Amino acid sequence: MTGARPAGAARRSISTTGITSVHTAAEPSASSLARAALRLVRVPYEYLVLYAALLYFGVAGVAFTGVSGVLTLLLPRRIGERVGRHAIGLLFHTYLAMLKASGVLRLDLRALDTLRGEPGVVIAPNHPCLLDAVLVISRVPQVGCIMKAAIWDNPALGGGARLSGYLRNDSPRTMVRLAARALRRGESLLVFPEGTRTRGGQLNPFRGGFALIAKQAQAPIQTVFIETNSPFLRKGWPLLRKPQFPLDYRARLGRRFRVEGDLHAFMAALEAYYEEELAQHHGHTPTLAAHAAGVATGGHA
């Protein structure tokens, strides 16, 4: 009769080569030690990447604001707008490239590339987080924007917006008139139908300004759906709070609409369409292993 082996006692095993090896049951494996060491290194590394990216964004934004003030005085308005939008697109593209290279961010934004250079269209994404405009403009830099007047007027942040000809949102009538004029001139316009970031993962009620702009300009509305696996920078998320990495973002195109008939009926139908599309993908974490399969895009209505 044999007794139980004492804890930590050595065990003998004979491999298929006939070589006897001895190891201790309580001894941690090399792989578990490696995983523990990796965890100790990963968390400080992720904080470093997060804060370094925020620092780059802030410093580059303030520096570009200073340069923009000079360019606004020197360049004709149309040329200044093209220069400003190209520079902002480059700044955003570089910011995302830094995060991708660090391993904390994975992107599939290729669907947006079809909108680059397309004239006179309202680009209308859902608004899950603070990065949504960064994601779109990084791929469609020529697009115009409607932004908060407080940012537009900010001496430290608003210079690039003023140079780029972005529109203020403080006077609805003026905003609609200028936005419709820009669309008729052949510019594309980025507008978030919700008007603010999503709260708690639920679609906010749509605001009618973007549909009125499209109707006055007789411009199509291109629906865009931004999907993510994280609540990072959602409404109420502290700017310096570290999320669970890596972050995944994917953009896909939906149907294209024209505003016809009653504006309120159109808004209700469009909001229902967004809700249906988002509900179909609710709970689906956008894994980017499907790169090779291509980006799912909706048809144009």
| Residue pLDDT, tens place only, 135-189 | 999 999 999 999 888 888 887 678 999 999 999 988 889 999 999 999 999 999 9
> Quick check: 191 pLDDT over 60?
yes
CB 94 within 8 A of CB 189: no
Domain for residue 249, yes or no?
A: yes
Pairing of strands 105-108, 144-147: unpaired
Other Cβ atoms closer than 10 A to 191:
24
Query: What's the whole-number mean pLDDT along residues 118-136?
Result: 96
Mean pLDDT of 265-293: 72
Instruction: Determine the Cα–Cα distance for residues 252 and 125; give it in Å rounded to an integer.
Output: 9
Look at 10 and 122; give whichever has higher pLDDT.
122
The candidate with the shortest Cα–Cα distance to 227, out of 64, 119, 103, 112, is 112
pLDDT digits over 42-94, tens only?
899 999 999 999 999 989 988 999 999 899 999 999 999 999 999 999 999 99
The most confident of the ranges 24-33, 60-69, 263-272 is 263-272
The pLDDT value recorded for residue 148 is 85
CA 34 to chain centre: 33
> Over the stretch 39-49, which tens digit does the pLDDT of each residue have?
778 899 999 99
pTM above 0.85, yes or no: no
Give domain status of residue 4, yes or no. no
Query: Which pLDDT belongs to residue 201?
Result: 72
Q: How confident is the model at residue 27 (pLDDT cuts 50, 70, 90)?
A: low
pLDDT at residue 301 tops 80: no
177 domain residue, yes or no: yes
Banded pLDDT at 206 (limits 50, 70, 90): very high
Q: What is the pLDDT of residue 39?
A: 73
Compute the distance between CA of residue 265 and CA of residue 60 in angstroms, rounded to an integer. Answer: 43
Is 155 domain-assigned? yes
- Is residue 33 in some structural domain? no
173: in domain: yes
Greater confidence (108 vs 14) lies with: 108
If you average pLDDT over residues 131-137, what whole number do you get? 97
Q: Tokens 């520079």 correspond to what residue?
A: 87
Q: Print the domain residue range for 146.
A: 41-293
- Count of domains forming the chain: 1
Q: Residue 16's pLDDT band (boundaries 50, 70, 90)?
A: very low
Is residue 285 included in any domain, yes or no?
Answer: yes
Joined together, the tokens standing for residue 148 give: 């908060």
Q: Which tokens is 288 given?
A: 């980017």
With pLDDT > 70 as the criterion, what percentage of the chain qualifies?
Answer: 82
CB 73 within 8 A of CB 156: no
Rounded CA-CA distance 189/211 in Å is 12
225-263 pLDDT, tens digit each: 999 999 999 999 999 999 999 999 999 999 999 999 999
Whether 10 is covered by a domain: the verdict is no
Structure token pair of residue 27: 């001894």
